[in-house]
Homo-oligomer: A and B are copies of this chain.
Amino acid sequence: MRKTLPSRVTVYEVGPRDGLQNEPTSVPTAAKVQFVNLLAAAGLPIVEVTSFVRPGSIPQLADAEDVLAQIDRAGETRFTALVPNQRGLDRAALGQLDGIALFTAASETFSRRNTNAGISETFERFEPVVRGATERGLWIRGYVSTAFGCPYEGDVAVEAVVRVSRYLVELGAEQVVVSDTIGVATPRQVMSVVDAVSMEIEPARIALHFHDTRGTALANVLAGLMLGISTFDSSAGGLGGCPYAPGAAGNVATEDLIYMLNGMDIESGVSLDRVVAASRFLSTVTGRMPSSRYYTAVSG
């Protein structure tokens, strides 16, 4: 096993987007900007800053343009945003993005409830977005949400995950994000699903996105590492939560992920202390203690 582990991984920070969209309290624009700047200063290579969904559907991120316009771009961090459709791309175009993220699902019911569109309909919406993004030279990632289970349908077929992943790549996504939206995955399942997706898409183009809702996120990361996956999503402090399990933990915490990678001599280029500082700043704004175990151990 040790021979096959990647020596370097890319940590894709989703706190400002996936984290903040699930936070109960609204965070002022200036604080979001400061949070993103602190994450960039921590050496995170890529930060998903916000989402250009309809402001009415996710009011927490209604200030997407403003945040993107105000963040500091002096460093090497690349910045992305979730873009659901043409209208979102038009808004995003103002913001000097390095890349965009598309969002679909492996579960038909989840797709309908979450985006008001069936899976194939989301692909139709993506086509002009991908065209426009490609023209602007933007990098594209595509989320396959509910890849390990759905809050409405329960089990999700591996074939559905593979099919949606393949569609995203055919459409033009450079990276497919196999996502455990509700935090139900366990390592053996991660192996099955990643094995199956890897038959169609090279591991270097697969990212894994885990929520720590049931405590298994880092074990799932380990399973992914063993299959040669080298991009993992996380959110500073374990920000966010799960709309399907009130009070539960959110994305796997960037601190916990970096601590494990450091301990395994896997490089990420991220400063653990500075991620803690970013989380500490945000927790003073939200008034909530980060759910990151590492954060609690060093700050408690």
Question: Interface residues, chain A, CB within 8 Å of chain B?
Answer: 1-2, 5, 183-189, 191, 212-216, 218-219, 221-223, 226, 242, 245-249, 253, 256, 259-260, 262-265, 292-294, 296-300
Complex contacts, A262 vs chain B, CB 8 Å: 186
Q: Is there an interface contact between B248 and A188, defined as CB atoms closer than 8 Å?
A: no
Instruction: Say how many copies of this protein the assembly contains.
Output: 2
> How long is the Cα–Cα vector from A298 to B183 in the complex, in angstroms?
12
CB distance from A173 to the nearest CB of B (A): 28
Q: Is there an interface contact between A297 and B245, defined as CB atoms closer than 8 Å?
A: yes
Complex contacts, A188 vs chain B, CB 8 Å: 2, 5, 263-265
A-B CB contact pairs (8 Å), 17 listed: A1-B226, A185-B263, A186-B259, A186-B260, A188-B265, A212-B215, A213-B297, A215-B218, A215-B259, A219-B219, A219-B222, A222-B222, A245-B296, A247-B296, A247-B300, A249-B293, A249-B297
CB distance from A1 to the nearest CB of B (A): 7
Q: Is there an interface contact between B260 and A187, defined as CB atoms closer than 8 Å?
A: yes
Complex contacts, A253 vs chain B, CB 8 Å: 215
> How long is the Cα–Cα vector from A184 to B293 in the complex, in angstroms?
11
Q: Which of B5, B223, B298 is the one whose CB lies under 8 Å from A222?
A: B223
Q: Is there an interface contact between A2 and B191, defined as CB atoms closer than 8 Å?
A: yes
Q: Taking CB as reference atom, which chain B residue is nearest A264?
A: B188
> How long is the Cα–Cα vector from A293 to B248 in the complex, in angstroms?
7
Knowing A219-B221, A264-B186, say if A214 contacts B245 (CB, 8 Å).
no
Complex contacts, A263 vs chain B, CB 8 Å: 184-189, 216
Q: Identify the 3 closest CB pairs spanning chains A and B, nearest first.
A: A247-B300, A186-B263, A215-B293
Complex contacts, A1 vs chain B, CB 8 Å: 1, 191, 226
Knowing A186-B259, A219-B222, A226-B1, say if A214 contacts B294 (CB, 8 Å).
yes
Complex contacts, A242 vs chain B, CB 8 Å: 297
Knowing A248-B293, A293-B248, say if A216 contacts B218 (CB, 8 Å).
yes
